[in-house]
Each structure stands twice: as C-alpha cells, then as structure tokens.
Amino acid sequence: TRPNIAVIGAGLAGLSCARHLQDAGCRVTVFDKARGPGGRMSTRRGDDWQCDHGAQYFTVRDNRFRDEVARWETAGVAALWEPRLAVLEADGSVARKAPDSTARFVGLPRMSAPAGWLAANLRVHSGYTIVDMQHDRAGWRLHSKEHGVHDDRYDAVVLAIPAPQATVLLQPLLPLTARQTVTDMLPCWTLMLRYRTPGIRFAPGYDAAFVNHGPLGWIARDGSKPGRQGSETWVLQATAGWSAQHLEDDSDSVIAALLAAFAALGAPPPDEVTAHRWRYARAGGQQDNGQAIQQNHVDEDGESAVLREAIWLPAVRVGVCGDWLAGGRVEDAWLSGRTLAAQVLASMACAASS
Ligand code: FAD
C-alpha cells in the first residue's frame, strides 16, 4: 500500500517535500494554518493593489533548484527581476550598485505564484493550525485548533514550519535537546505603502535599495517587478535589530518611525500604509555567502545520524525541513524539502525514488 504522509506547512519547504513524495507514489496531505499556500514567500493583496511583503526575490546557486526555477519560468509563474539597485549610506550618499552577476528572480505576477503552482496538484487543507500530534499503533493523528482531532492516520509526518513552531510540536514527543531544534529566527517589521494621488510618487532613480543606516534595511518599489498591476506600491523592511527592539510596539508607532526614516530619504507621505510583523522572518544563522548554517546532529534512542538540510527520525517516522535547516533562503527551503523527501522515500521504501 502507498505510504500516507501528512505535511504540516505549505511554504516552499513543505510544498517541495510534498511534491517529491507525491511524484514518487506516496499519498500526501498538506496542512497550513494560513488561508493559502506560500508561507513567507507571500503577497498581500487589497482592492487594487498588491505587494510582496515577505521574501523580496530569490537567487539560484544549486543546479537542482536552477532546473526547478526553469520549470517555474516555463509555467509563467516566475521571472527575472532586474532592478536598478542602490546602497544608501549614513552620510546621505547613494551608491548605485553596479550590475552584478547575481540573477534575481521573483514570482509572476506575484511572489506567491510558484507556491500556488506547486500546490495545484496537491491536497492542501488551508486554515488548519496543527497544535498536537499523537501516535498509536495505527499511525499518527493530527489535532488542529480549528477542527479538533483529525480522523485520518498517517504513516509519517513532515514538519515544514519555522524552528520555534516545530520545537513546540516536537518537544512533547521526543527528548530532543534545544540545540537540535531551536534556531534563532529574527523578526522583521514590514510596511506596505500605496500612492494613489496623481502626480505624487517617489522616483529616486533606483527601484530598490539596501539601507545601511537607521531603522530601515531594505526598500523596494513593488511595481518594478515584472507583471505587477495596480496602485504604486513600496515595501519597507526594518532591520532585524530594530525589529527585535520594537517587536511588541503597536503598529501605529512602528509606522510613524519607519515612515519618518523613509521621508528622510526624500519620499513623499503615502496615501495608505499597512504594517506586518514577521515574528520569525529569517534564520539567525543565515549567511549571505551561501554557506549552510550548520550540520544537524540527531540522537534518538541511541540512534545517531548526521544530516544536512533536513532531519528525519526513522524510528518515529517524523521529518523536519525548512529554510532554517539549510541556510535561510527560498532556495534553501526548496532544497530542504527535497532532501527530506529523498530520506523519507529511502526509509519507507515508496514505489519509486525521487
Ligand atoms: P515558511 O514559508 O515559513 O512556511 C511555513 C508554513 O507553515 C507557513 O505557511 C505557516 O503558515 C505554516 N505553519 C506554521 N506553523 C503551523 C502550524 N502549527 N500548523 C499549520 N501550519 C503552520 N528569502 C530569500 O531567498 N530572499 C529574500 O529576499 C528574502 N527576504 C525575506 C524577507 C522577509 C520579510 C521574510 C519574512 C523572509 C525572507 N526570505 C527571503 C526568506 C524566505 O521567505 C524563506 O526562506 C522561505 O520562504 C521559507 O520557506 P519555508 O517553507 O521553510 O517556511
């Protein structure tokens, strides 16, 4: 019989894992607490506007991900973004970033599009926050906040959620030490600005900028990405340090502080603003040079495994994947899910291997 596998989390890691498992012949059901798939690779949409408020773009280093992005391009759900990039320094200088060899991709027509494409052939249950998982002889049973205990039994469960949330679900089950599962995840306060008044625009001569002073770390004109429609929109992201310091502030005071910093760059006040607080935005150990954070050592019942990019516990048939296990980016999330799927398939002898 086909293994029946539950995947918790419909971000890139969970969707990548689920697709590889399903393509290899497993029965797969994906659960996510949000309204739709995508996780942090996401887009906020209003009446006549949209804005990528999580991941801003993604890069490609690994050939396996290169092939996947080519499939997304062919399907029309991703495209190159070639912004005019700047670096803004404290002395007010604006350095134009020289065209580099980095290819930056975005979802088309919005960041969440590749996730929607990956989810299209999967059974995805949205609006299910998994709060508990229990094992008996028939398999794993999941308990969601919204719908109570689920009747179905699963042969294996994949956790494709940020480290702090995975730890909450895993801790009652397994004597994992903090080092094995807890990775610092850094927060990010984000603003989405709309300009609707005719003639009022911020046109600084760049489309996006790394900001090296004050509370802001990154600003970008969403409409400079391919295929975007609707009102003129800018996204502002605070630095991790500032966001951590102001994590519990109310959104009005955060909006005031970040708009002041944006005005200091010469931007006119927007007509509308929405704030979003990412409590777990980026993995703390992430490095921009593409190195993985660390290797993960898992000891369970004396069984020892050294795994990279994902954790698979064969004795209990629970797997963990996510960007935080592999480097902290969109690419890492996809690779982590793929690596875990291969481990699950090897361990459970599915029909075919991925
Ligand atoms: P997630 O996308 O977080 O997916 C986890 C999913 O699990 C979510 O959908 C969540 O709703 C769900 N979930 C959590 N707990 C539960 C539960 N108990 N029950 C059910 N569902 C649950 N990466 C880049 O490569 N380039 C960038 O420029 C970039 N910028 C970023 C900017 C910001 C502000 C943020 C937040 C992230 C950025 N990233 C960037 C990181 C990138 O978004 C992530 O690496 C990637 O999307 C993570 O995918 P994931 O599947 O591991 O996790």
CATH label of the domain that carries residue 214: 3.90.660.10
Q: Are residues 141 and 26 in the same domain?
A: yes
pLDDT at site 308: 62
Q: For 286-301, what is the mean pLDDT? A: 35
Ligand 1 pocket member 39 (CB < 6 A): yes
The CB density around residue 17, as the number of other CB atoms within 10 Å, is 33
- On the question of pLDDT at 305 being above 90, the answer is no
- ipTM surpasses 0.85: yes
Indicate if 197 and 315 belong to the same structural domain. Answer: no
Domain membership of residue 260 as a residue range:
43-111+184-283
Residue 13 clears pLDDT 90, i.e. is over it: yes
Mean pLDDT of 119-137: 95
Radius of gyration for the alpha carbons in the chain, expressed in angstroms and rounded: 21
**pLDDT for res 351:** 44
Is the CB of 12 within 6 Å of ligand 1? yes
| pLDDT of 175 | 55
Ligand 1 site, residue 111, Cβ cutoff 6 A: no
- What pLDDT sits at residue 163? 82
Ligand 1 within 6 A of CB of 55: yes
b or e along 209-235 (b: 16 or more beta carbons within 10 Å of the residue's beta carbon)?
bebeebbbbbbbbbbbbeebebbbbbb
Are residues 220 and 340 part of one domain? no
- Reported as a single tens digit per residue, the pLDDT across 150-163 is 989 999 999 999 88
> What does the pLDDT read at residue 166?
87
Residue 333 lies in a domain: yes
Confidence of residue 171 (pLDDT cuts 50, 70, 90): confident
Residues 197 and 265 in one domain: yes
286 class by beta-carbon count within 10 Å (0-12 exposed, 13-18 middle, 19+ buried): buried
> Could you report the per-residue pLDDT of 199-244, keeping only the tens digit for each?
999 999 999 999 999 999 999 999 999 999 999 999 999 999 999 9
Judge whether 47 lies within some domain: yes
Q: pLDDT band for 301, please (50, 70, 90 cuts).
A: very low
Ligand 1 centroid to 331 CA: how many Å? 11
Nearest CA to ligand 1 atom 45: 329
Place 193 in a pLDDT band, splitting at 50, 70 and 90.
very high
Tokens at 52, concatenated: 């990528």
165 lines ligand 1 (CB under 6 A): yes
Q: Find all residues with CB under 8 Å of 67, minimum gap 6, and list them.
A: none
Distance 119 CA to ligand 1 centre (A): 15
Q: Does the Cβ of 333 fall within 6 Å of ligand 1? A: yes
Of 237, 260, 283, the residue at which a domain comes to its end is: 283
| Last residue of one domain, picked from the residues 233, 260, 283 | 283
Integer CA distances (angstroms), 347 to 91, 138, 182, 344, in order: 57, 18, 25, 5
- Is residue 354 a part of any domain in this protein? no
Within this chain, do residues 168 and 214 fall inside the same structural domain, yes or no? no
What tokens does 63 get? Answer: 């050939």
Distance of CA 227 to the CA centre of its chain: 21
Do 330 and 217 belong together in one domain?
no
- Domain contains 55: yes
Domain boundary among 263, 283, 303: 283
**Could you report the per-residue pLDDT of 44-77, keeping only the tens digit for each?**
999 999 999 999 999 999 999 999 999 999 999 9
Nearest ligand 1 atom to the CA of 59 is 25
- Specify whether 53 is located in the same domain as 104: yes
125: CATH: 3.50.50.60
Q: Indicate whether 353 belongs to any domain.
A: no
pLDDT of residue 174: 62
Judgement on whether residues 16 and 130 belong to the same structural domain of the protein: yes
**Count of domains forming the chain:** 2
**Res 269: pLDDT:** 97
Indicate if ligand 1 lies below 6 Å from the C-beta of 330.
yes
The string of pLDDT tens digits covering residues 331-350 is 999 999 999 999 999 998 75
150 lines ligand 1 (CB under 6 A): no
Please tell me if the CB atom of residue 13 comes closer than 6 angstroms to any atom of ligand 1: yes
Mean pLDDT of the chain, nearest integer = 88
Residue 214 lies in a domain: yes
CA 266 / ligand 1 centre spacing (Å): 32
The answer on 271 and 162 residing in a single domain is no
The neighbour count for residue 252, using CB atoms within 10 Å, is: 10
Residue 178 lies in a domain: yes
Whether the CB of 214 sits within 6 Å of ligand 1: no
Residues 316 and 267 in one domain: no
Beta carbon of 334 within 6 Å of any ligand 1 atom: no
pLDDT score recorded for residue 64: 97
pLDDT of residue 210: 94
Mean per-residue pLDDT, 244-262? 98
Q: Which atom of ligand 1 is nearest to the CA of 333?
A: 52
Specify the ligand 1 atom closest to the Cα of 321.
52
129 and 75 inside one domain = no
